[in-house]
Structure 1
Amino acid sequence: MNQAQFALAWSQYKKNICNGLSSLQQNGEFVDMTLAADGHFVKVHQVVMALASPFIKQLISSANCPHPIIFLNKISNATLCSILEYIYTGEVLLTLENFDEFIEAGRELHIQGLENMKSQSHKVGSTEDTVADDINEVCYFEVPSQSMDEDQTELDFENTIVSGDTKDIRIMVQNVYDDDIAEESLENDENLSFSQDVAHNSIETSAKPIDTKNVRVMQYTVSNQGSLQMILNRFLYYLKHTNRNNTRQWRCVDYVSGVKCPAHVITKDDIVIQRISAHTHPFHDKKILKKVRAGAIFSAIQEAEIEGTSMRKKTENNTQIDTE
């Protein structure tokens, strides 16, 4: 004899879950991930961000650590607040002047519902995946954040990722090397008090292909003299050589110091294909944060090259003026 079954439905389930997650995020409860944008840190939940963006999900998976930190370049803190409201509640109120910036940031981060959104004559659709029709008010969602002061270098960074452009960048670079790499690497003693151990999840002890699944977790910067550098998993590398097949060999900047760090990385088309040897020193967090504050972090290698060329020209011009 079949027993009677009853279906129970929670009518306020979706509203309760959305409001609950938003409240947990704003109160900093059970957060396990940090987003850095426009000089501010915002703590969020990995599972929520992973559901909202397959791209961010891949970044989190590649970090393989309890509390990853992702730097979002070219995204303002206000835009990040709007994106988080959209992710946590499913809707957001925007001013018309901020609409395009919001959509562009959503596409860059591959946020579901925003990645393929198109606006027509400033008219926004009223579907579930679009922003609300009323765009005459400013975003009211408050996201707790803290300024990136000097003391922020003491944050417990389990791992740091600088978000990168997902477009393929194919460009040949010159084999640039200069003495200022040694000058920068001598600052390594400062980092001893900041990072006590080298994280095992950030290195490989032997040369082997890395399954990156087309995830770009590296970012680019330049040295004080304008030479190209790469940031990967909280370490800085300088460009040692570019092969004819467009593969690039990068060495740790501490190779030329007394540390003689043997770690180096091979990339092709902005994808890591090999990591060789382990780092023998702490992370380069302080150096990287200085470059972040200086606005010298780039998602595309071409942008870093342009900045490096500009710096070298300025140095040459200053040298000519001094000799005159």
Structure 2
Amino acid sequence: MDDDPQFCLRWNDHQSTLVAVFDRLLENEALVDCTLAAEGKCLNAHRVVLSACSPYFELLLSKHYDKHPILILQDVKFQELKAMMDYMYRGEVSISSDQLGALLKAAKSLQIKGLWDNRKGDVESSVHVKPKSPQPVIPLPIVQGLTMEQRRRDDSREGSQSPGLIKKKKNKAEK
């Protein structure tokens, strides 16, 4: 049945929830699996967050097989490291204008996404906005934090499956 509608389940607060969870995990030092050190001071971190935010860390940590590696950053001040960690975990950081240059220089050396764009070799100008899909989707009602969108079969994501339970409920509701 090629006309069988597909449903896209969207967690409306997915990004904000993940940011809040990562922030809480960092604050509680829960599930940390690596340590960054600068100027003799240490910060615990999560490899997955560092790797997601920096191709430098991704390459370095993917080749590091220790259970809990300690990465010593020679040319980075602890204050800059702390600010970059706040940026990576929270998506923003507040710093004074006199710290900006040093932070951006350190971010460039560690290839921190959003603070340095390795395609251009310089600081990114602003937040990138994802373009809207050229094909319209039909919004369906919000159900407990999810947004469902009906899509044509040819618009479905590879490997996605139509949730059977939702489909059965929809069919019952139409009867």
Relative to the length of structure 2, the TM-score reads 0.63
Which runs of structure 2 are paired with 1:285-304 in the superposition (5 Å)?
none
Structure 2 residue 35 is matched with structure 1 residue 24: no
CA RMSD, Structure 1 to Structure 2 (Å): 2.1
Give the letter for the 1:79 counterpart.
Answer: E
Contact 2:114/2:127 (<8 A) preserved = no
1:247 maps to what in 2?
Answer: none
Structure 1: runs of 5 or more not aligned:
120-124, 130-324
Deviates most, 20-29 or 107-116: 107-116
Which runs of structure 2 are paired with 1:181-260 in the superposition (5 Å)?
none
Q: Deviations over 1:265-319 (max 9, x none)?
A: xxxxxxxxxxxxxxxxxxxxxxxxxxxxxxxxxxxxxxxxxxxxxxxxxxxxxxx
Deviation at 1:39, TM superposition (A): 1.7
Q: Separation in 1 of the partners of 2:109 and 2:56?
A: 9
2:127 maps to what in 1?
Answer: 127
Give the letter for the 1:17 counterpart.
Answer: L
Specify the structure having the higher radius of gyration (Cα). 1
Which structure has more helix as a fraction of its residues?
2
Relative to the length of structure 1, the TM-score reads 0.36
Structure 2 residue 78 is matched with structure 1 residue 77: yes
Q: Separation in 2 of the partners of 1:19 and 1:61?
A: 25
Q: Separation in 2 of the partners of 1:85 and 1:52?
A: 12
Structure 2: runs of 5 or more not aligned:
130-175
Deviation at 1:5, TM superposition (A): 4.6
1:49 maps to what in 2?
Answer: 50
Structure 2 residue 34 is matched with structure 1 residue 33: yes
Q: Deviations over 1:76-119 (max 9, x none)?
A: 22111110111112221121111001100001111122233448
Deviation at 1:67, TM superposition (A): 0.8
Deviates most, 60-69 or 80-89: 60-69
Deviation at 1:22, TM superposition (A): 1.3
**Bigger relative contact order, structure 1 or 2 (CA pairs below 8 A, ≥6 apart):** 2
Give the letter for the 2:14 counterpart.
Answer: Y
Structure 2 residue 61 is matched with structure 1 residue 60: yes
2:109 maps to what in 1?
Answer: 108
Q: 1:83 to 1:128 in 2, by over 3 A?
A: farther
Q: How many aligned positions are there?
A: 124
Deviation at 1:3, TM superposition (A): 5.4
Contact 2:34/2:47 (<8 A) preserved = yes
Give the letter for the 2:104 counterpart.
Answer: I
Contact 2:53/2:88 (<8 A) preserved = yes
Q: Separation in 2 of the partners of 1:113 and 1:6?
A: 32
Q: Percent identity?
A: 30
Deviation at 1:4, TM superposition (A): 5.2
Deviation at 1:9, TM superposition (A): 1.9
Q: Separation in 1 of the partners of 2:64 and 2:14?
A: 32
Give the letter for the 1:20 counterpart.
Answer: V
Q: Separation in 2 of the partners of 1:13 and 1:20?
A: 10
Q: Separation in 2 of the partners of 1:127 and 1:57?
A: 22
Give the letter for the 2:127 counterpart.
Answer: T
